[in-house]
Amino acid sequence: MVEAGAHRRFVLLLRLTLVMGFAVIVLGSFVRLSNAGLGCPDWPGCYGHLVGVPENASEIESANQDYPQRIVETHKAWKEVIHRYFAGTLGLLALFLVVLSVIFRRRPGQPVRLPVAILVLIGFQALLGMWTVTLQLKPVIVMAHLLGGFATLALLWWLNLSISKWPRITIRRSLGGIRRWANLAAAVLVVQIALGGWTSANYAALACPDFPTCHQQWWPDTDFAEGFILWRGTGINYEFGVLESPARTAIHLTHRIGALVALLIVGALALILRFRQAIPSALRGTGSAIVLLLAAQISLGISNVVFYLPLPVAVAHNAVAAMLLLATLTAVYMLKSATLQKPSERFL
């Protein structure tokens, strides 16, 4: 009885952490896409305020004197600090998770290492968040911060799958190939998410203002070598990008090509899960979810271009990317933990 109660508390806390993790990601993308990433020029305080932001005239004046390179914009500062508060709360929740998992460590099936890994990752995210500000939106830091956020959410979800009563499935041995395909699909998604982060970090979302062509051409002027230099030195303000048009075009095109590859590979996975004979119904549902999320994500990506990057669409493109990754990871998890059935057992 005590055991069950302990388990329930852990699951409840994990669910809460999961929701918070998702909120922090969406909030983070909102901060970035509304150009509020440098809303506070310092870290962890905001213009020296440890709580809140400079608001009345005298505070703003002294803040502007202390940070002459960045004049106070109160609404941007608020967006930035709210993201920090949410992220801080997430860190605390993750800490509680670790504490609970250490307390319950003797309980069979209680994961300990994964909660610890999540806490370490969130700590590293705080570091990346700091560098995002102090290195003035250096693209590789911004991209790493995005990937770190997605990794945190993915690990939380994986933890949730492994401790909750997610349906255990049995599949035919002949369907074993789907496992590898699901792993491939997840890998493709991770690469595509990184490319999306790189596109945003370099302000290349509108480098091709038209779709399906780019600058009315199928293969416009591009500079891939320049577009994919990861380290350009520090001390540069990267807000609104530093790259010339051909380099941004190269980045944008790569994300489009990645989208096509992801559509084919993740789409194939989804259709196989959805329609292949002898697939357990739980896995079929995951297939349907991936189909819907994939269609939504492609539509949102095209809408970003066609409608000139409306903020809600851009934020949704980020949120659906996260959900698509989680749905694909669900398939990976179910296939990984599935019991393979020998052909002879099929009729038992």
Phi, psi of 204 (to 5 degrees): -110, 10
The SS3 assignment for 217 reads: strand
The partner residues of 214 in beta bridges, in order of sequence, read 217
| Annotated catalytic residue, options 80, 239, 244, 345 | 80
- Is the separation of the CB atoms in 59 and 45 below 8 Å? no
**From candidates 85, 219, 275, 308, binder to other proteins by CB under 8 A:** 275
Q: Closest CB to other proteins among 99 and 257?
A: 257
Q: Is 99 in the site for other proteins (CB under 8 A)?
A: no
| Count, residues near other proteins per rule CB under 8 A | 9
In the numeric block, the tokens 């909750």 are attached to 164
Cα dist from 63 to 2, 41, 129, whole Å: 54, 10, 21
Q: Closest CB to other proteins among 262 and 291?
A: 291
Q: In the structure encoding, which two tokens stand for residue 190, read together?
A: 């991770």
Min dist. Cβ of residue 274 to other proteins (A): 7
Q: In the structure encoding, which two tokens stand for residue 128, read together?
A: 């990346």
**From candidates 291, 316, 324, 326, binder to other proteins by CB under 8 A:** 291
Min dist. Cβ of residue 271 to other proteins (A): 5
Any catalytic annotation for residue 80?
Answer: yes
- Is the separation of the CB atoms in 107 and 113 below 8 Å? no
**From candidates 277, 281, 339, 344, binder to other proteins by CB under 8 A:** 277
Q: Closest CB to other proteins among 109 and 212?
A: 212
Min dist. Cβ of residue 217 to other proteins (A): 13
**From candidates 5, 108, 109, 212, binder to other proteins by CB under 8 A:** 212
Cα dist from 56 to 41, 70, 72, whole Å: 18, 17, 11
Q: What residue type is 215 in one-letter code?
A: H
Min dist. Cβ of residue 141 to other proteins (A): 36
Q: Is 271 in the site for other proteins (CB under 8 A)?
A: yes
CA pair distance 249, 134, nearest whole angstrom: 27
| Interacting residue ranges for other proteins, rule: CB under 8 A | 212, 271-272, 274-277, 291, 295
